[in-house]
Amino acid sequence: MDFSFFKTPSHQHPNPSSVLTLLKDVAASNNMLLFEAAYLYHQKAFIHLPLLLLVPQKGLLLFEILSWSADTLQGASICSWHPSLKKEKALSVDDTLEFIRQKFNYILHQDLTPTTAMVLFERLSSQEFKRLDPSFQRLIPTSRTLFNNETASSILEKITSALADQTLTLNTNTILSTLFMQYTLPPDHFNTTGAIADSTQQHYADNDFSPRSSLVGPYGSGKSTLMLLKVLGSLLRHPQQHIMIIAPTPSACDILKQKMLTVIEHAIIEVDLSTIEVITPKQLLTRHAQQLYHKPLHPIAITEKMLRKPFDVAEIIVCDDADLLPTQFIAYLQHLQQKQTLHLLCTHQKNAVGECYTLTKSYRSHAELTTLCHQDLNNQHSYENIANIKFCIGNIYMQTMLAFNDMLKIKRAGETALIITPNRAFSQALYEQMHDYIEEEIILFDAQQSMIDILFDHHIIVEQSAMASLCKEHVIVAGIYPENRLIFCHALSRGYKSISIIVHDENENDTINLICEEKF
């Protein structure tokens, strides 16, 4: 269908469309997928889709939504676009169809031929359409047009007719992951197949950042990946933006950078990476202090002067794992971004600011973990009958090594463990004990060093302050007590196959060398 229309005058604002609501109902009841006001990205380019309908095994329907009324069109006529007309005064689906074709050719090396264009009139009935200038009937077939007096059965009939002779050989996930990079959670170490975003995640990814907003979701819900998809989409639409992403530790920053490169490679987009900065709170405060005092502060802290003076660092600041950062630092970010944008990623609603997007599904954590974290964590019975979660009381070093030894018996090839401790001194002592008695190589994690290359291939001991963004198949939480519910639950969430909780028994003798020699 090769035609174009004159644009709706900019001062007109369409009312909520009953035919659009009806189309949504028809799509939902017939296993069709409808995407409204979405974006397509490819390399440096993007295009806005008013409405796209995916009918599995049949094809795609690309809708042009028009809000013209009979009064607006009285005495008007339309014509096919040609070079003598100004391109910006025409609405054409041809460019979008070509964009889709190129995208599929580039990624899959094949055409997505079953793609058809249709028109949806929000304020025009079929009777009113018949009374318009004959040029409308000539260029806009009624069989490819939805009017505001359609019924569910007439909408379904027109959709079926438009795709009657077409067959779609690609599966739905392949089509969606090819079309919508912002809806595609790419495969990673834990989610090896990838996933397609649900409607809430899609809404979040497509919307521009608002001045104050938050993304709230359980551990393992894909918040960080979704945030990166949103950031990259925003930069493709607004390439002059500067976005700063804050993560708690240098290792968390490294993981985010690696995720970003994975998303870019998977989506086949081109983004100026100099417009994205990923730093720690310590690095931000050091930079601010350098500007104010012309020297670094020791120790690094938020001073009264920092909270009085403006400091323009980025149009948009995004803070990952905001729950793990001091409330004073979040208040400091709100001060910095008084006239700019601040976006927080949180696990708990109470830490959110502004407009809130809420996720519910976790791709990593045990289903029972969310329930557990709302129970009395000091009661040992709370952990009973929960698959793959064990609670042990005893000598903390001995029980940790026993739990590690049990993990080695059940782990599959390539799986590793994360042992989380309360502090650096404890990590060092445990590392020395395990180094003496455990043959498997274990790494003592240093959050201030770049260790991205070894994160997924080695067993790691890390203190709780450096555990942000670290995840493993198996987790042993040693010496962290349930009294600090936030830290304790965050530590539990780092594992997705087995979790062992080790609590020290004051009655146990700390001298374990003889026992270790007997056990190991």
Split at pLDDT 50, 70, 90, the class of 381 is: low
Which residue in 280, 334, 282 sits closest to 311, CA to CA?
334
Q: DSSP states of 409-472 as a string?
A: HHPPTT--EEEEESSHHHHHHHHHHHHHH--S-EEE--TTS--TTTTTTSEEEEEGGG-TT--E
The pLDDT value given to residue 365: 57
For the domain made up of 367-519, the CATH class stated in words is alpha beta
**Of 257, 276, 268, 262, nearest in space to 191 by CA:** 262
- The per-residue pLDDT for range 278-337, each reduced to its tens digit, is 999 999 999 999 999 888 788 888 999 999 888 999 999 999 999 999 999 999 999 999
**The CATH number of domain 184-358 is 3.40.50.300:** yes
Residues whose CB falls within 8 Å of the CB of residue 44, separated by 6 or more in sequence, listed in order = 236, 269, 270
The pLDDT tens digits for 444-466 are 998 777 667 777 788 999 999 99
Res. 509: pLDDT tops 70: no
Q: What residues does each domain of the chain span?
A: 5-174, 184-358, 367-519
Single-letter code of the amino acid located at 497: K
pLDDT at site 370: 66
The chain-wide mean pLDDT, for the chain, equals 84
Contacts of 197 (CB under 8 A, 6+ apart): 182, 183, 184, 185, 205, 226
- Report pTM: 0.84
- DSSP structure class, residue 43: B
* Percent of the chain at pLDDT exceeding 70: 84
The yes-or-no answer to whether 184-358 and 367-519 have a common fold is: yes
Task: Decide: 207 and 38 in contact? Cβ < 8 Å.
Answer: no
**E strand or H helix that includes residue 319:** strand 316-319
Q: Are 267 and 43 in contact (CB under 8 A)?
A: no
Give the residue, 231 or 310, on which the prediction is more confident: 231
